[in-house]
Structure formats: C-alpha cells, structure tokens
C-alpha cells in the first residue's frame, strides 16, 4: 500500500493524453526534458559556486583565551519565599 502500481501509471498517461492530446504530448515532453536539463545545470553551477566560496573563506582562528580557565559565573540571588514577604497593610 502506498507504492505505485501499474494502473497508477496507466491513469496518469490517460489523463495526460486527454489534457494535451496526441499531437501536443511529444512537444510537452520535450519541453519538460529541456526544463529539467536546465534546472540540473543550474543546480550544479550553484553547488560549484558554493564550493568555491567555502574554499575561499579563511579558516576559523583560535580565540585568545583558549586554554585559560573561564571565570565562574556568580549565581543570581533567589527570590524571597512567600512566607518571607512583608504582609503589612498599606
């Protein structure tokens, strides 16, 4: 279940023939193929450009304080408990 069956492909072909007709179907398939080739070429070019950009970036440098211990962070004071609040009427 969920996988393509042969009758799924037959239905898609029948619908395509009904929509485009037998005369326009080869032209549509050719145009689709050209579009896919152009799209793949653009993806390859983008990946190639990205690889060149990453190669041209300088390597990250170590920070100056690497190896030194980090200072301890002082804990923040806790809020007073409810029974410690002043309940005097104003």
43, 64, 73 from 76: Cα distances, Å: 52, 28, 9
Instruction: Report pLDDT digits (tens) over 9-23.
Output: 899 888 888 887 888
Mean pLDDT of successive 10-residue stretches along the chain, which has 90 residues: 80 86 84 94 89 72 60 66 60
Q: What is the pLDDT of residue 71?
A: 64
Nearest to 13 by CA among 70, 4, 3: 4
Overall pTM > 0.75:
no
């Amino acid at each position: 279940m969920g996988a393509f069956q042969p009758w799924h492909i037959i239905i898609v072909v029948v619908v395509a023939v009904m929509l485009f007709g037998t005369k326009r179907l080869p032209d549509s398939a050719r145009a689709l193929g050209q579009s896919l080739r152009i799209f793949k070429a653009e993806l390859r070019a983008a990946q190639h450009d990205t690889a060149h950009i990453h190669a041209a970036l300088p390597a990250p440098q170590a920070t100056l304080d690497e190896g030194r211990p980090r200072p301890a962070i002082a804990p923040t004071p806790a809020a007073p408990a409810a029974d410690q609040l002043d309940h005097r009427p104003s």
